[in-house]
Structure 1
């Protein structure tokens, strides 16, 4: 079984296919390495495509203590996979929890990122939602511990930004729900408390985002309500960022709209690899509405 060991002794499972420029996929809380199968098949034709199961998600190790889970560790675990595979730099693509990890990978390991694709990123990020989000993370962890993932998943899968997936693709949604139900109770609860609940708000990271120079793409569904305004914030703050919004789509965009997601991301990676991805022209940051008067 392909795996690597992190510097704190956690074994991480990964899969890879294809050859060429490396691209690593980082999954969301409700997903795992299997969530990226449409991307592994698509990008594996052109890239060395890698997906991995985060700590707490079998067949990766499931640490028993919450202290083994954090936003920083989530970012550093991406680097651990790259180290094991002797990869100096890679494109990094993350969704939701994986999108936050991707952004923080850019902060912590910028020289190792060929690009950052930050998708579905923003839950709980708005300042007036922080207290609510922390409370809901506590409630989610408690529900998982008392009910177990098999029961909890039947509620969580039908959240307000996931029903779009069920409406479009009931067969794909059933597969998603089934995989979610098999996640580790301990790992899922600890991930909620150690990673989700404690991550800093995006609005407190504006200065770090302004200093980021890695080519970046922000992707969100237009019905992924918690991610829309944070997506605009990242677009405004990261000088190398573009923003793509997928219409009539919710949170799980890489499997809800795989063809559109793959098209957008492939176009981004192609421009980056050709050296044609731009930084924002300073003239675009005028405070004037028309440009006539600053």
Structure 2
């Protein structure tokens, strides 16, 4: 593990592997860089892959007494980490919450991107019901603790088939989730609740975009998985996968990202 003190006022933990074009992978809510452990070896031939813990998650600092962690806060942390690592530009792939942060980054720092990917994520905002659920989540975390919230959350992230056939993945994801600070979990729940519609960000982005969905994802419904299309957009559905492709099908997920990167590198050379 590496750790950097950022200009945003927190220390961020991260792992790094491989060489070549810089790639940053962001994990989802109540996760950590460990979500990508099984997939990371498959990125060896793709590029220099950096996997941070988002603020309040894993081994990264929580942000003091702030109640809400906005997606812009998370995007600023990514930019500050890039500065510390002397990375002018990156290909940024975000899983779920990480996708919301990646979209905020694309809106604020488009000049620092070579490509953008949403992994089991969406550019649409929360529905009114989802906003209510975020408030309930924050309240559960504050009153019952992170462990109780994670126990209820994690099984829903996996496909029904994998809940039965791969209980070890459920156990690992729960263990990772227990490491989330209460401030980080509640703060990000409220930050996700407040995020705006960013479909227009994707529409304006003149860069390669990857939209990677799980066939059996019970978190992101089918109608919200592919909000844009176009010559610069690659849309892929992973069969038999829920909301956790990096754990449920790590080799296939990395292969999709690798093919996407290689295809767009070839385009750049023409």
Common fold by TM > 0.5? yes
Q: Which residue of 2 aligns with 1:254?
A: 246
What CA distance in whole angstroms lies between the structure 2 residues aligned with 1:101 and 1:80?
14
Matches within 5 A, 1:62-73: 62-67=62-67, 69-73=69-73
Question: Does the C-alpha gap of structure 1 residues 252 and 245 become closer, same or farther in structure 2, counting only changes over 3 Å?
Answer: same
Question: Does the C-alpha gap of structure 1 residues 111 and 72 become closer, same or farther in structure 2, counting only changes over 3 Å?
Answer: same
1:51, CA displacement in angstroms?
Answer: 0.5
Q: Which residue of 1 aligns with 2:203?
A: 210
Question: Does the C-alpha gap of structure 1 residues 168 and 267 become closer, same or farther in structure 2, counting only changes over 3 Å?
Answer: farther
1:131 aligns with 2:128: yes
1:243, CA displacement in angstroms?
Answer: 0.8
What CA distance in whole angstroms lies between the structure 1 residues aligned with 2:18 and 2:158?
32
Question: Does the C-alpha gap of structure 1 residues 68 and 147 become closer, same or farther in structure 2, counting only changes over 3 Å?
Answer: closer
1:155 aligns with 2:152: yes
Question: Does the C-alpha gap of structure 1 residues 211 and 36 become closer, same or farther in structure 2, counting only changes over 3 Å?
Answer: same
Q: Which residue of 2 aligns with 1:21?
A: 21
Kindly indicate whether the alpha-carbon contact (under 8 Å) linking 1:54 and 1:74 is maintained by their aligned counterparts in 2. yes
1:270 aligns with 2:258: no
What CA distance in whole angstroms lies between the structure 2 residues aligned with 1:216 and 1:73?
22
Kindly indicate whether the alpha-carbon contact (under 8 Å) linking 2:93 and 2:118 is maintained by their aligned counterparts in 1. yes
1:200 aligns with 2:196: yes
- What is the number of residues matched between the two proteins? 269
1:13, CA displacement in angstroms?
Answer: 1.2
Q: TM-score, normalised by structure 2?
A: 0.91
Matches within 5 A, 1:1-294: 2-67=2-67, 69-122=69-122, 125=124, 130-159=127-156, 163-193=160-190, 195-201=191-197, 205-225=198-218, 226-233=220-227, 235-236=228-229, 240-275=232-267
Q: Answer with 1 or 2: which has the greater Rg.
A: 1
What CA distance in whole angstroms lies between the structure 1 residues aligned with 2:87 and 2:39?
20
Structure number with greater CO (CA < 8 Å, separation at least 6) is 2
> Which stretches in structure 2 are left out of the alignment for 5+ residues?
none
What CA distance in whole angstroms lies between the structure 2 residues aligned with 1:143 and 1:162?
24
Q: CA RMSD in A?
A: 2.3
Q: Which residue of 2 aligns with 1:286?
A: none
Deviations 1:151-176 (A, max 9, x none): 22211112265544423422222111
1:227, CA displacement in angstroms?
Answer: 4.0
1:186, CA displacement in angstroms?
Answer: 2.2
Kindly indicate whether the alpha-carbon contact (under 8 Å) linking 1:122 and 1:227 is maintained by their aligned counterparts in 2. no
1:259, CA displacement in angstroms?
Answer: 1.8
What CA distance in whole angstroms lies between the structure 2 residues aligned with 1:272 and 1:73?
29
SS in 1 for 2:73: helix
What CA distance in whole angstroms lies between the structure 2 residues aligned with 1:63 and 1:95?
21
What CA distance in whole angstroms lies between the structure 1 residues aligned with 2:85 and 2:165?
37
> Which stretches in structure 1 are left out of the alignment for 5+ residues?
279-294
What CA distance in whole angstroms lies between the structure 1 residues aligned with 2:6 and 2:209?
26
1:182, CA displacement in angstroms?
Answer: 2.6
What CA distance in whole angstroms lies between the structure 2 residues aligned with 1:79 and 1:160?
28
